[in-house]
Chain A
């Protein structure tokens, strides 16, 4: 079956530090990959996505590259801000096995201090 593994948090950084949140996956087919962000008290919202190998998704200074050879989709940002404090979820969608169900990682909490 499909699975997503992301690094456990919380990740605590100072403002302007470099961010990496690791995400690896297993899938039976050729999945689309997503990063979602959940700000305190809100629902999840799409941050970025990539639909095929070597694609780079980017949004709001965040980037992630679809690496088929390492089955990874790590989230990076060059300089984090306090407003980036949130929970980040890696996810995949894959029709392998006939499943319509997207697969989510457990989420990684990011705390950015001034």
Chain B
């Protein structure tokens, strides 16, 4: 199993550009999510999904879109990049048993800089 994979590892964008951060998992997990991590802020949830075709907003969804067309993939789209979106982005997945997460598996992260 590759676990959770993310691409790219690093990205530099100019203000106003758009891009898609890719996330894939091969563990057949129902739940997938995107977090951003900023110094002193811990992890903040952007969007999450409990299955193919189902997505919902987290704590900081503005400026980001997601879709979940398959169980494996959960891409995050930045619509018009802003310097405030400079951050490290983590994708995570987990199995749900009666609504309880057993363990979250995290990808290695994408380090994004917006100039």
Q: Indicate, yes or no, whether A interacts with B.
A: yes
Task: For the complex formed, measure the closest distance between the CB of A28 and the CB atoms of chain B, giving whole angstroms.
Answer: 12
Task: For the complex formed, measure the closest distance between the CB of A102 and the CB atoms of chain B, giving whole angstroms.
Answer: 5
Are B109 and A42 in contact, CB atoms less than 8 angstroms apart?
yes
Are A93 and B101 in contact, CB atoms less than 8 angstroms apart?
yes
Are A102 and B42 in contact, CB atoms less than 8 angstroms apart?
no
Are A102 and B108 in contact, CB atoms less than 8 angstroms apart?
no
Residues of chain A with a CB closer than 8 A to B107's CB? 43
Using a Cβ–Cβ cut-off of 8 Å, how many residues does chain B contribute to the interface with A?
Answer: 26
Using a Cβ–Cβ cut-off of 8 Å, how many residues does chain A contribute to the interface with B?
Answer: 23
Are B90 and A104 in contact, CB atoms less than 8 angstroms apart?
no
Q: Who on chain B is nearest to A31 by CB?
A: B100
Are B58 and A102 in contact, CB atoms less than 8 angstroms apart?
no
Are B106 and A45 in contact, CB atoms less than 8 angstroms apart?
yes
Are B42 and A93 in contact, CB atoms less than 8 angstroms apart?
no
Measured CB to CB, the residues of A under 8 A from B are: 31-32, 34, 36, 42-46, 49, 89, 91, 93-95, 98, 100-102, 104-107
